Amino acid sequence: MSASLKFGFLSTVLAFCLYTAGLKNLDNGKASILASVEPVAATLIGVILYKETLSAGEIFGILIWNLDVKRNSYFIIGMPFATRR
């Protein structure tokens, strides 16, 4: 097997299998939040390490995602926005 195929296998298939195996040990709500963090983390790593640029739409998408995760985490933890009377 060539070196590029080995690298491709290790960086994609093995990483994906380990990632999904790790998600199996989490609650459904926490696993969904963690799974939604992955694309944003990959984007930030690309910007920081590889000096990629983001368009205004991509930045807006990250901000919307961040607000949504925060909103959903309040309900998963059990702390809704409004206090109940």
49 occurs within a structural domain: yes
pLDDT at 85: 47
13 occurs within a structural domain: no
What is the per-residue pLDDT across 19-59, written as a single tens digit (0 to 9) for each?
Answer: 888 888 888 877 877 777 788 788 889 999 999 999 999 89
Q: Is 54 left (phi over 0), alpha (psi -120 to 50) or beta?
A: beta
- Classified as helix, coil or strand, 81 is coil
46 occurs within a structural domain: yes
Domain coverage including residue 65: 26-77
36 occurs within a structural domain: yes
38 occurs within a structural domain: yes
53 occurs within a structural domain: yes
73 occurs within a structural domain: yes
Higher pLDDT, 37 or 78: 37
pLDDT at 35: 79
16 occurs within a structural domain: no
φ/ψ (deg, to 5) at 26 = -105, 160
Number of domains in the chain: 1
